[in-house]
Chain A
Amino acid sequence: MDIIKIQGTDDTPTVILDVQNDIFQISGRSLPEDVSAFYDPILEWLREFAESSHDKMTFGFKLEYFNTASSKLILDILLKLEDMFENGKEVQVKWYYPEDDEDMEEAGEEYADIVDVPFEQIPYED
């Protein structure tokens, strides 16, 4: 599968989707001008992965900030991961948040509550 590697900016996150090196992560800030345009290729890539024979994925979210428009697309990613999990793939979500950021911690809890997929919350020092 192709590798997706997007360098983050002050309004878009860094994205790495790399089967060879087993890295699946979104990090940084997410408030793109056009959320769909930014997230569509990522969702498309996950669709492709879902249909492939690869059977394992640990997906990391390490976001500093995301706006409400991005929050729906993040849910779309999680729903895709839930699909894969329900279809027998070994899927694990890791939600990293700065240890002093209650809102980011709470956002993780809320997503974990909505989707049915193994979900781990990991605080880190800012």
Chain B
Amino acid sequence: MVDEQSFITSVFRFYKLMKSNEISLVYEGEITHDITKAFTALTETTMNKEDESGTTQRKVFHVMVECLQNISKHAEEVQSGKIHKEKRGVFLIHKDHDHYGVTTGNVVANDKVEDLRKSLDHINSLDKEGIKQLHKEQIRSGSLSEKQGAGLGFIDIVKKTGNPLLYHFLEIDETASFFIITSRIERIK
């Protein structure tokens, strides 16, 4: 049992942390289709209340859907040293005065980190034309399942936001890492 006083202090600290970073939504758990629908609906309501432009709302909606679907497709978990698929992760929406941020975090096997890093660096290195070209190639190439993780979803996020993806891998142990990625969406008036 956690000491009550320290628990209450943690809740308060957590609240202040959310306020100071303008985090409007934070979640840890299983990402299902219903969760995706609920979060996008909730965020739409919030953005409407704050009079965000249609363009900003559409882009945030889009990025949320792609990020949540990435977790439900690719997230993994380590249990007794073994990696298996687990649609879990953390999900946050935050903002500052000129951007929205959508951040996700999930577990990936260490042996996938290098490829993921490579695809993300490649996507981040491209200019607008390059992204369009890569998007076209990916959409035309048959199958929906991407072998190497970073597929159409990430490419599309960069294409629509015009911002690079900010990502980090934090090693959990010798089999897995925690993968954190943030997409930034400009608040267009």
With both chains docked as a complex, state the minimum distance between the C-beta of B74 and any C-beta of chain A, in angstroms. 13
> Does A126 lie within 8 Å of B54, measured CB to CB?
yes
> Does B61 lie within 8 Å of A69, measured CB to CB?
no
B152 within 8 Å of A (CB atoms): yes
Contacts of A31 in B (CB 8 A): 36, 65
A49 within 8 Å of B (CB atoms): no
Contacts of A68 in B (CB 8 A): 66, 152-153, 156
Q: Mark B128-164, 1 if CB is under 8 A from A, else 0.
A: 0000100110011000100000001100100010000
Known contacts A10-B37, A100-B54, A100-B55; is-contact A72 B144 (Cβ 8 Å): yes
Main secondary structure of the interface of B (DSSP, over half): helix
Within 8 A of B (CB), among A34-74: 35-36, 65, 67-69, 71-72
Contacts of A35 in B (CB 8 A): 144
> Does A72 lie within 8 Å of B66, measured CB to CB?
no
> Does A110 lie within 8 Å of B136, measured CB to CB?
yes
With both chains docked as a complex, state the minimum distance between the C-beta of A107 and any C-beta of chain B, in angstroms. 10
Contacts of B144 in A (CB 8 A): 35-36, 69, 72
Known contacts A10-B41, A68-B153, A75-B140; is-contact A110 B58 (Cβ 8 Å): no
How many B residues, CB 8 Å from partner?
23
Within 8 A of B (CB), among A68-114: 68-69, 71-72, 75, 98, 100-103, 110, 113-114
Contacts of B94 in A (CB 8 A): none
Contacts of A98 in B (CB 8 A): 54
B69 within 8 Å of A (CB atoms): yes
A33 within 8 Å of B (CB atoms): yes
> Does A103 lie within 8 Å of B37, measured CB to CB?
no
Q: Mark B11-28, 1 if CB is under 8 A from A, else 0.
A: 000000000000000000
> Does B152 lie within 8 Å of A71, measured CB to CB?
yes
B62 within 8 Å of A (CB atoms): yes
With both chains docked as a complex, state the minimum distance between the C-beta of A33 and any C-beta of chain B, in angstroms. 4
Could you write out 17 A-B pairs with CB less than 8 Å apart?
A10-B37, A65-B58, A67-B62, A67-B69, A68-B66, A68-B152, A68-B153, A69-B144, A75-B140, A98-B54, A100-B54, A100-B55, A110-B136, A113-B136, A114-B136, A114-B139, A114-B140
Further 7 A-B residue pairs, CB within 8 A, beyond A11-B33, A71-B152, A72-B144: A31-B65, A65-B58, A68-B152, A72-B139, A101-B58, A102-B55, A110-B132
Binding site for B on A (CB under 8 A): 10-11, 31, 33, 35-36, 65, 67-69, 71-72, 75, 98, 100-103, 110, 113-114, 126
Binding site for A on B (CB under 8 A): 33, 36-37, 41, 54-55, 58-59, 61-62, 65-66, 69, 132, 135-136, 139-140, 144, 152-153, 156, 160
